[in-house]
């Protein structure tokens, strides 16, 4: 309903400006300031003041007088408040919202008949997933979810780097060393924790061994790289054994978030089918290709990039970006749009990729990037462990444990009275603990660096995952009570029967949800959905405090409020689902 109302406001406002011979290029439609009762407002008077030669409040009044509200379903009235033109809804707006929002799929937009591939995570298969990279699967999964809910046909891809030097070193080390050569035990009983020890051993050997031994090792590593480039099947099989084993463990870690994928696309695919060779030859033929410092490079000054893109070494081996160019051309052939989620350290690479794709004749409007900054941990246990860094598994384990302690503290009486079984406590701790990690990370604007703090992430009273999850649990509790009492709402409920400003305000917040999904999908910004869940939770809690549901004054009010609780439940569940956060039935 909100999307239709906004469209009606835009139509009415554009028509009014046209009648006044004023430009309609920027209507300035926005959420009104909190002290205004309108559903939408326009700040267009600020833009037009200079052109009209009058103060913004006078211009706003001139525009409001020109707006005609007849013939619209949801646009009822217009007035002004200082420089703002305010727009108000009809009674039908709220009733139609309530009727629609009680459906389980509320918020899902119509099918757009547009395919999108979202590539995210794509961490090199060299060992366990590091917490510093945890933002990629969390943000990437949420981007894919919001596009899916917005009506796009979405595939989720993980691009596997199985052809670079790192994998050649890993393969060599795995074949070269035995268990007895390794100094430490695996940090966790899963295969990537076992195998990463060989990778570390190989790197330390290359740093510390004598010159002759290093030269011999480097020759073996180079032969692996050359074998991959030449399409040698035996070499592929050797590397694949290591890659697939490590990747299987990484998948198990990512499934805990959860972050799942439709396809794991290996970069060797584009070497074996000669697409990489084709890209390299086409790049050589462009006027921007130069052979310098024993390598083929692209000069990209024309695109504002002052660092050349090296796409082919002197020995004929390709680079990651060359293979990724072939990968992206494959995406363009198979999908209408492509979205890639990248860390901030890949920003230059993304710019070079875009320029090279354009050089190759591709429509780069098909491609979008989501660039994120990294997750830091505060000083303390999680940030001072020995080794190469904190793993995502460690963060999830500790979050679940902390959530369990909080749940046991809050629900002590119910636990002592045997109202909750052990499996209930485990479920709630997992839902809250992992939800806290995901929500805290996805709720921040991706380009801003964040420090994960336990006291904020697991705060049941503040605007955190438990705070918004608790709204869903409360809704479920009320609906279960209604069901146990034999109260069912089958007839069409009327929003006029809600009889409380807090109930109406909650319904207006619910009405915004589809437009929030639309905006988040358009800009690839799932954090705005997280912001919305906090605003929805605030509105619901005000309703919960002030508006009895099952003990309402009349059956009509009770039924309308039960309908509102059901609408709140579906809205919060679907918003959390977009964020990849579970919606507990009880807490």
What is residue 379's predicted lDDT score, i.e. its pLDDT?
59
SS3 for 37-73 is CCCEEECHHHHHHHHHCCCHHHHHHHHHHHCCCCCCC
DSSP, residue by residue, 257-310: TT---SEEEETTHHHHTSHHHHHHHHHHTSTTEEEETTEEEE--GGGT--S-EE
- Which tens digits make up the pLDDT trace of 104-161? 999 999 999 999 999 999 999 999 998 878 899 999 999 999 999 999 999 999 999 9
Could you name the CATH architecture of 388-579?
Answer: Orthogonal Bundle (1.10)
Pairing of strands 84-89, 40-42: antiparallel
Tell me the average pLDDT across 403-420: 75
Tell me the average pLDDT across 288-301: 95
Instruction: Copy the structure tokens of residue 123.
Output: 């961490």
What is residue 414's predicted lDDT score, i.e. its pLDDT?
65
384 pLDDT above the threshold of 50: no
- Which tens digits make up the pLDDT trace of 145-159? 999 999 999 999 999
What is residue 385's predicted lDDT score, i.e. its pLDDT?
37
82 pLDDT above the threshold of 70: yes
Mean pLDDT, the chain, as a whole number? Answer: 92
Tell me the average pLDDT across 489-506: 86
| pLDDT category of residue 383 using cuts at 50, 70 and 90 | very low
| pLDDT category of residue 338 using cuts at 50, 70 and 90 | very high
Q: Are 351 and 381 in contact (CB under 8 A)?
A: no
- Which tens digits make up the pLDDT trace of 13-62? 999 999 989 988 899 999 887 777 899 999 999 999 988 899 999 999 99
| pLDDT category of residue 416 using cuts at 50, 70 and 90 | low
227 pLDDT above the threshold of 90: yes
What is residue 417's predicted lDDT score, i.e. its pLDDT?
57
Cα 247 from Cα 240, distance rounded (Å): 10
Cβ neighbours of residue 233 under 8 Å, at least 6 residues apart?
none
Task: For the chain, give the percent of residues with pLDDT over 70.
Answer: 96
Greatest Cα pair distance in the chain: 90
Task: For the chain, give the percent of residues with pLDDT over 90.
Answer: 79
Domain with CATH 1.10.730.10 in the chain: 388-579
Helix or strand or coil: residue 77? strand
Tell me the average pLDDT across 382-404: 75
Q: pTM for the full model?
A: 0.90
What is residue 185's predicted lDDT score, i.e. its pLDDT?
93
Nearest to 328 by CA among 287, 297, 363: 363
Q: Are 401 and 409 in contact (CB under 8 A)?
A: no
Could you name the CATH architecture of 2-89?
Answer: 2-Layer Sandwich (3.30)
Pairing of strands 337-343, 115-119: parallel
Give the lowest-confidence range in 12-21, 419-428, 535-544. 419-428
């Amino acid at each position: 309903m909100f999307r239709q109302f906004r469209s009606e406001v835009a139509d009415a406002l554009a028509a009014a400006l046209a009648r006044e011979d004023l430009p309609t290029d920027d209507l300035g439609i926005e959420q009104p300031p909190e002290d205004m009762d309108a559903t939408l407002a326009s700040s267009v008077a600020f833009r037009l003041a200079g052109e009209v030669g009058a103060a913004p409040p006078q211009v706003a009044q001139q525009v409001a007088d020109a707006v005609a509200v007849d013939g619209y379903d949801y646009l009822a009235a217009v007035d002004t408040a200082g420089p703002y033109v305010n727009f108000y809804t009809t009674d039908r707006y709220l009733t139609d919202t309530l009727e629609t929002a009680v459906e389980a799929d509320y918020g899902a937009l119509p099918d757009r008949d547009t395919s999108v591939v979202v590539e995210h995570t794509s961490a090199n298969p060299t060992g366990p997933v590091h917490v510093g990279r945890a933002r990629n699967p969390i943000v990437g999964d949420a981007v894919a979810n919001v596009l899916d809910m917005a009506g796009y046909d979405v595939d989720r891809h993980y691009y596997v780097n199985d052809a670079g030097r790192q994998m050649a070193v890993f393969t060599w080390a795995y074949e070269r060393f035995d268990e007895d050569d390794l100094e430490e035990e695996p940090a966790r009983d899963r295969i990537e924790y076992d195998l990463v020890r060989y990778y570390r051993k190989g790197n330390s050997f290359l740093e510390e061994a004598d010159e002759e031994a290093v030269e011999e090792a480097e020759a073996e590593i180079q032969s692996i790289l050359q074998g991959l480039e030449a399409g040698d099947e035996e070499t592929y099989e050797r590397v694949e054994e290591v890659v697939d084993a490590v990747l299987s463990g990484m998948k198990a870690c990512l499934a805990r978030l959860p972050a799942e994928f439709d396809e794991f696309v290996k970069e060797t695919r584009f070497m074996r089918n000669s697409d990489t060779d084709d890209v390299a030859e086409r790049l050589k033929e462009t006027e921007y290709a130069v052979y310098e410092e024993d390598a083929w490079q692209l000069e990209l000054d024309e695109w504002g990039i002052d660092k050349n893109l090296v796409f082919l070494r002197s020995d004929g081996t390709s680079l990651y970006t060359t293979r990724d160019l072939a990968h992206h051309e494959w995406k363009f052939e198979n999908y209408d749009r492509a979205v890639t989620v990248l860390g901030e350290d890949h920003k230059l690479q993304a710019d070079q990729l875009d320029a090279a794709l354009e050089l190759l004749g591709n429509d780069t409007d098909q491609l979008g990037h989501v660039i994120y900054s990294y997750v830091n941990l505060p000083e303390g246990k999680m940030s001072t462990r020995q080794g190469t860094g904190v793993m995502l598994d460690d963060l999830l384990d500790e979050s679940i444990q902390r959530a369990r302690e909080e749940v046991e503290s809050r629900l002590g009486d119910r636990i002592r009275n045997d109202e909750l079984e052990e499996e209930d406590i485990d479920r709630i701790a997992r839902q809250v603990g992992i939800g806290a990690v995901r929500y805290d990370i996805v709720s921040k604007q991706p380009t801003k660096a964040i420090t994960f703090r336990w006291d904020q992430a697991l705060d049941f009273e503040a605007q955190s995952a438990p705070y918004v999850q608790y709204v869903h649990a409360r809704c479920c509790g009320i609906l279960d009570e209604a069901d146990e009492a034999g109260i069912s709402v089958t007839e069409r409920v009327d929003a006029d029967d809600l009889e409380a400003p807090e109930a109406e305000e909650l319904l207006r917040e619910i009405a915004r949800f589809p437009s929030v999904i639309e905006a988040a999908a358009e800009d690839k910004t799932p954090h705005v959905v997280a912001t919305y869940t906090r605003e929805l939770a605030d509105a619901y809690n005000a309703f919960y405090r002030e508006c009895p549901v099952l003990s309402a004054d009349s059956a009509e009010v009770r039924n309308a409020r039960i309908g509102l609780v059901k609408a709140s439940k579906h809205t919060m569940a679907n918003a959390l689902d977009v964020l990849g956060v579970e919606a507990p039935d009880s807490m």
